[in-house]
Amino acid sequence: MKKIKIAVLCSGGGTNFQAIYNAWEAGLIPHGEIVFLLSDRAGAYALSRAERVEIPFVVVDRKEIPDRAEREKKMIAALEERGIELIVLAGFLSVLSPAFVERYENRILNIHPALLPSFGGEGFYGLHVHEAALKAGVKVTGATVHIVTAECDGGPILAQKAVEVRERDTPETLQKRVMREAEWVIYPQAIEEVCQKLSGGRK
């Protein structure tokens, strides 16, 4: 069975990377193989996580290389060297250029901590999303896996899972629950579905 080579892109703590890796190790992504982690921050804790599970990684630091085009050139070289077929964004905060997205058309996935199209677009990331959801007074939020396109958070939706908003929620408690109940559940599932499709396992 052909396994699709996956690279995970992270900027921070790598909790989603860990969840994806755990799912993969548990056999929940049989058509894929996590072979690489790339970060745009030298101090990202995700690098320690990758090291611990012996996943090779590369840093293309935003501070060292502020020019996006130059940074993406290095990223593409690192991805191509390893024969990467699917890119999974897991808290990757650099906005990818339209040229980069086009190069990997339908092969870049992202997870957003809300039910898109609600609380999506520019500036909506991390705790900002949960702050906005609480401020709006919604009773239900969740997570969305989508294909990355040139439009921020505007690509085709692959999976969504709802999470109840509780009366005493803070952005932090909501963030943790959305991760546990939605993100860590649907992201590995969506990754497997895409890998299966790319490997020819399902049309």
- Residues tagged active-site: 112
Beta strands 108-112; 140-147: pairing state: antiparallel
Q: Is 65 left (phi over 0), alpha (psi -120 to 50) or beta?
A: beta
Q: Which two tokens stand for residue 64?
A: 């060292």
Q: Could you count the other beta carbons within 10 Å of the beta carbon of residue 96?
A: 23
Give strand pairing partners of 88.
Answer: 8, 109
CA neighbor of 121 nearest in space, from 88, 144, 87: 144
- Whether the CB-CB separation of 134 and 165 falls below 8 Å is answered with yes
Give the torsion sign (CA, 34, 29, 193, 186): negative
Backbone phi and psi for residue 89, each to the nearest 5 degrees, phi listed first = -85, 130
Instruction: Please name the residues in contact with 177: beta carbons below 8 A apart, sequence gap of 6 or more.
Output: 163, 169
For the record, the structure tokens of 166 come out as 């509780």
